[in-house]
Structure 1
Amino acid sequence: MALDNAGGAALAVSHLLQRGRRRIAAITGPLDLYEARERLDGYRQTLRDTGRRSIVALGDFTRVSGAEAMRQLLEDDPHLDAVFASNDLMAIGALRTLHQAGRHVPDDVAVVGFDDIEAASYTSPALTSVRSPMADQATAAVHLLLRLIEGGSTDPVIMPNELVVREST
Structure 2
Amino acid sequence: MSALTTPPSPPGRGPSITDVAARAGVSIQTVSRVLNSAPKVAAGTRQRVLEAITELGYRRNPAARALATGRGGLVGVLTSSSALYGPASITAALGLAATEAGVHLAVEHVVDFDVASVQHGLSRLVDQYAEAVVLVAPVQEAYEALAGAQPLVQVPVLAVSSGGVGATEVSVDQRAGARLAVQHLLDLGHETVWHVRGPRGWYEADQREEGWREVLQAAGREVPPVLEGAWSADSGHRAGELLARVPEVTAVFAANDSCALGVVRALAERGRSVPDDVSVVGFDDVPESAHFLPPLTTVRQEFSELGRTALRQVLRMVEGDGALGDAGAEPAVRSVQLQPELVVRRSTAAPHR
Structure-to-structure mapping, 1:75-154, within 5 angstroms? 75=245, 77-151=246-320, 153-154=332-333
Cα distance in structure 2, aligned partners of 1:24 and 1:74: 14
State whether residues 192 and 216 of structure 2, in contact with CA within 8 Å, keep that contact through their aligned partners in structure 1. no
Establish whether residue 156 from structure 1 lines up as the match of residue 344 from structure 2.
no
Of 196, 201, 212 in structure 2, the residue corresponding to residue 27 of structure 1 is 196
- Mapped partners of 1:7, 1:165: distance in 2: 16
Q: Deviations over 1:58-99 (max 9, x none)?
A: 111110110101222333x32111000010000000000111
Q: Residue 298 of structure 2 aligns to a residue in which SS?
A: strand
**Unaligned residue ranges in structure 2 (runs of 5+):** 1-169, 324-331, 349-353
1: CA distance, partners of 2:244 / 2:264: 12
**Which blocks of at least 5 consecutive residues in structure 1 are unaligned?**
none
Q: Deviations over 1:108-146 (max 9, x none)?
A: 110000001112111110001100112221221121012
Hey, which bits of structure 1, 4+ residues long, moved more than 3 A? none
Read off the aligned partner of 1:159 and give its amino acid letter: L
Over aligned residue pairs, what C-alpha RMSD do you find?
1.2
Pick the aligned partner of 2:219 from 30, 38, 50.
50
Alpha-carbon deviation of 1:21? 1.3
Distance 2:192 2:271 in 1: 18
Q: Which has the larger radius of gyration?
A: 2
- Greater share of strand residues, 1 or 2? 1
Does the CA contact (< 8 Å) of 2:197 and 2:229 recur in 1?
yes
Q: What amino acid is aligned across from residue 172 of structure 2 in structure 1? A: L
> How many residues are treated as equivalent by the alignment?
168
Q: TM-score, normalised by structure 2?
A: 0.46
Identity %: 41
Does 2:239 align with 1:69? yes
Distance 1:119 1:59 in 2: 21
